[in-house]
Structure 1
Amino acid sequence: MKIIIAGAGEVGFHLAKLLSYESQDITLIDTDKESLSYAEGHLDIRVLRGDATSISILKNAQVGNSDLVIGVTSSETTNITLCLLAKQLGSKKTIARISNTEFVEYKDRINFSELGIDELISPEELAAAEINLLLSQSAFNDTYEFEGGLLIMVGVSLPKSAPFVGKTVKEAARIFPELHFMPIALQRRGTQFTLIPRGDTEFMIEDQVYFITDRKGMDELYKLTGKKKEQIRNVMIVGGSKVGTKAARDLCEKRFNVKIIEKDKNKAFEVADMLPNALVINGDCRNVELLEEESLESMDAFIAVTGNSETNIMSCLVAKSKHIKKTIALVENMDYFQISQSIGVDTLINKKLLAANNIFRYVRRGEVVALTRLNNLNAEILEFVVKPTSEVAGTLIREMEFPREASIGGVIRGNMGIIALGDYRIEEGDRVVVCCLPNAIPEVEKLFL
């Protein structure tokens, strides 16, 4: 694919990096010479210095032949204008990063695709949604919903008490035949290798395992992983950033008791005006005495979303020392994901990764309607729509020539999520959730073309 990315900041560079690994034809546009020099020196891509809304620059980038144009500069106006121009000049698809979350809220009423924008991406909105989802499934350290929760992906570190520790997937299936979940990916403690579980794969203590389940299977997973479904009502958020404000607004609407700590006095007053149902305190989250004065120990969840990753991690560790049930830290450095479990923070979230997940489904072949990358695991979960021409249409799962590095986690048919086994027949119109390692993606994509 020929892809043009405008904006060599954190999101743009991260996207260019991920896409260049897949040998895509990438052109990166930015006005900052230093950012472009760094990108050109580290990635196998073409760079262009200039204004992304300049028609001459876009023509130089061969926008008319592009498959995808992504506007992820820090300026919402630039991103929107770029998409409008790119579509008029012949680009097949356009994506704009926006900061005004109202655009996302009203996209059902305003047809942005008619204007020339195929998708709106708000990393702040995505991060806030991720926080809400993590609090609703509090015992798990990673989670993702397909089709509004008809199928749910959850990640959990297996405790010693889990009844299937020491058993293979096949043995566990025999002992618990009525279970409504499927293991789709696994990482051993202390390793960086991702496994796609097969019948002979053995579950071990402290494995990080990802399951696909339906609503019924959630309660089963709580029991079998030895995790408790904690009731979360009292939430402390440190950082009145866009992520913190959006997450707080959503939580207040769900009648959570929300307390926000914001260091900047003017910002604190601003947030207090926007969120009358939340208690906003002007103070430094690094001040442990302040946190204790504000009843840190009585909180069920602690969310750190300041602009500093290290501050977020350290304040979460303070909260964890006070036996807070759930801690979530916003981080910018992707390397922190590799140590999240060992340092004791329940979940790390990253805006770049969330934005990339949303954009990547436009890069995949076949009709991909959802995609997520697993935190710290080298695997993707994709939701494909089965077309009449798809090789898998009308085929039993056990008869498919599926690569060993991939597995089907579940199927959505109509309004029902199904944990599909070998004797299940895939039909046209089904939405199939597949987990696969990077080397298996091209092979899997061919099955759904």
Structure 2
Amino acid sequence: MKIIIAGAGEVGFHLAKLLSYESQDITLIDIDKESLNYADTHLDIKVLKGDATSVSVLKEARVNTADLVIAVTASETTNITLCLLAKQLGSKRTIARISNTEFIYNKEELRFSSLGIDELISPEQLASEEIQLLLDQSAFNDSYEFENGALIMVGTSLQRTAPFVGKSVQEAANIFPELHFVPIAIQRFGTQYTLIPRGDTVFKEGDQAYFVTSKEGVDELYKLTGKTREEIKNVMILGGSQIGYKTSRDLCSSKFRVKLIERDKSKALDLADILPNALIINGDGRNVELLEEEDIEEMDAFIAVTGNSETNIMSCLVAKSKNIKKTIALVENMDYFQLSQSIGIDTLINKKLLAANNIFRHVRKGEVVALTRLNNLNAEMLEFIVKPTSEVNGQIIKDLDFPRSAIIGGVIRDGEGIIALGDFRIQAGDRVVVCCLPRSISRVEKLFL
């Protein structure tokens, strides 16, 4: 697949890195020579210095043969213009990164696809949505919804008191036969080893375990993982960034009580004007005295989304020491994901990873309609639409030639989420949620072509 990425910043570089691992034909365009040199020496891709909206530069990149053009520069205008030009010059699909989320909310009315833009993404909006979902599933440290919650993926660290710790998947299924969930991935405590659970896989204390469940199964998971569902109403947000603003706005509209702390006085005043239902505080959120003055002990959740990863981590640790139920930190360094459990923060989120997940499904073969990479795990969740020509159509799950390093987590049929076990028969039109390790992705994709 020939892919052109415009913008060698955080999102562009991360995307190029992930795609280069899969031996895709990548060309990265940017005007900054230093960023390109770094990408050129660290990744197996082509780089091209120049203005991505220049027709001559696009022709040099052979945009007419491109399967996908991804515009993720810092400029929204550049990204939109580039996609329009790329489509006119022969690119098959285009994706534009934007910051104005009104474009996303009104994309049908504005008919972006007729202009030549197939997909719009906003990393800030994706981060805001991720935060809201994490607050809704407060006891879990990772979550993702398929088809508006018909199926839900949740991740949690298993405590010693969880009823199935020490038992195999098969033993747990026999003890709790009416369960509405299936385990799909496990990372052993203190390791970077990801395994796809089978019947003889034993759950251990400290495992980071991922499950797919239906709406009815969420409450069961709370009981069986030893977690309790905490009601979250009072939220403190550190940082008036785009993510801080969008999260505050969305949480206020969902009847949360929000306090937002911003260091910059003029920005704090602006936020106070556009967020009338939130309490905006001008001050340094790293100051423990300020946090105590603003009743941090009374908060149910603390969300740190400043532009500094270290500030976000340290302030979340302060919040955790005050027995806050839920802490979420925005980080830029992907390596920090490996530290989240050991240092005690509930969840780390990363804009680059969220944007890459959103874009990645356009690279996958078959009718992939959703994709997410599990935080800090070497595994992917994919949602396929079964076509009449798909090899899985009409097949019973246990009869499929499915790789051992992949598992079907569930099926969505007519909008209803189903935890599909071995005797379930897949049919055309089903949306099948699969978790797999990288080595099995190509085999799984072939089954749904």
Q: Would you say same fold, with TM above 0.5?
A: yes
Pairs within 5 Å for 1:193-204:
193-204=193-204
Give secondary structure in 1 for the equivalent of 2:108. coil
After TM superposition, give the deviation of residue 105 of structure 1 in Å.
1.4
CA distance in 1, matches of 2:311, 2:107: 35
Instruction: Out of 96-105 and 374-383, give the one that drifted further.
Output: 96-105
1:246-287 deviations in whole A, cap 9, x for unaligned? 000000001100000000000001111110000000000110
User: What's the TM-score once normalised by structure 2's chain length?
Assistant: 1.00
CA distance in 2, matches of 1:50, 1:2: 19
Residue in structure 2 matched with residue 411 of structure 1 by the alignment: 411
Question: Which amino acid letter does the alignment assign opposite residue 183 of structure 2?
Answer: P
Pairs within 5 Å for 1:226-375:
226-375=226-375
Question: Which amino acid letter does the alignment assign opposite residue 222 of structure 1?
Answer: Y
1:337-390 deviations in whole A, cap 9, x for unaligned? 001000010000000000000000000000000000000000000000000110
CA distance in 2, matches of 1:419, 1:273: 47
Question: Which amino acid letter does the alignment assign opposite residue 421 of structure 1?
Answer: L
Residue in structure 2 matched with residue 65 of structure 1 by the alignment: 65
Does residue 212 of the first structure (1) align with residue 215 of the second (2)? no
CA distance in 2, matches of 1:242, 1:101: 11
Residue in structure 2 matched with residue 155 of structure 1 by the alignment: 155
After TM superposition, give the deviation of residue 92 of structure 1 in Å.
0.6
After TM superposition, give the deviation of residue 101 of structure 1 in Å.
1.1
Residue in structure 2 matched with residue 35 of structure 1 by the alignment: 35
Question: Which amino acid letter does the alignment assign opposite residue 234 of structure 1?
Answer: N
Runs of 4+ in structure 1 deviating by more than 6 angstroms, as ranges, are none
After TM superposition, give the deviation of residue 415 of structure 1 in Å.
1.7
Does residue 168 of the first structure (1) align with residue 168 of the second (2)? yes
Question: Which amino acid letter does the alignment assign opposite residue 104 of structure 1?
Answer: I
Give secondary structure in 2 for the equivalent of 1:246. helix
Residue in structure 1 matched with residue 221 of structure 2 by the alignment: 221
User: What's the TM-score once normalised by structure 1's chain length?
Assistant: 1.00
CA distance in 2, matches of 1:302, 1:108: 35
Aligned residues: 449
CA distance in 2, matches of 1:350, 1:248: 18
CA distance in 2, matches of 1:130, 1:208: 19
Residue in structure 2 matched with residue 13 of structure 1 by the alignment: 13
Residue in structure 2 matched with residue 87 of structure 1 by the alignment: 87
Give secondary structure in 2 for the equivalent of 1:149. coil
Question: Which amino acid letter does the alignment assign opposite residue 124 of structure 1?
Answer: E
Does residue 104 of the first structure (1) align with residue 116 of the second (2)? no
After TM superposition, give the deviation of residue 106 of structure 1 in Å.
1.2
Question: Which amino acid letter does the alignment assign opposite residue 321 of structure 1?
Answer: S
Residue in structure 2 matched with residue 126 of structure 1 by the alignment: 126
Give secondary structure in 2 for the equivalent of 1:366. coil
Unpaired runs of 5+ in structure 2? none
CA distance in 2, matches of 1:78, 1:319: 40
Residue in structure 2 matched with residue 433 of structure 1 by the alignment: 433
Residue in structure 2 matched with residue 178 of structure 1 by the alignment: 178
After TM superposition, give the deviation of residue 111 of structure 1 in Å.
1.7
CA distance in 2, matches of 1:101, 1:180: 35
CA distance in 2, matches of 1:415, 1:127: 25
CA distance in 2, matches of 1:286, 1:410: 43
1:181-203 deviations in whole A, cap 9, x for unaligned? 00000000000010000001000
CA distance in 2, matches of 1:319, 1:109: 43
CA distance in 1, matches of 2:386, 2:165: 35
CA distance in 2, matches of 1:285, 1:17: 34
1:168-192 deviations in whole A, cap 9, x for unaligned? 0000000000000000000000000
After TM superposition, give the deviation of residue 112 of structure 1 in Å.
1.0
1:118-148 deviations in whole A, cap 9, x for unaligned? 1001000000000000000000000000000
CA distance in 2, matches of 1:48, 1:331: 29
Percent of residue pairs identical: 77
CA distance in 1, matches of 2:89, 2:21: 28
Give secondary structure in 2 for the equivalent of 1:364. coil
CA distance in 2, matches of 1:32, 1:173: 55
Residue in structure 2 matched with residue 138 of structure 1 by the alignment: 138
CA distance in 2, matches of 1:354, 1:193: 22
CA distance in 1, matches of 2:414, 2:90: 35
CA distance in 2, matches of 1:182, 1:111: 40
Unpaired runs of 5+ in structure 1? none
CA distance in 2, matches of 1:134, 1:272: 25
After TM superposition, give the deviation of residue 110 of structure 1 in Å.
2.1
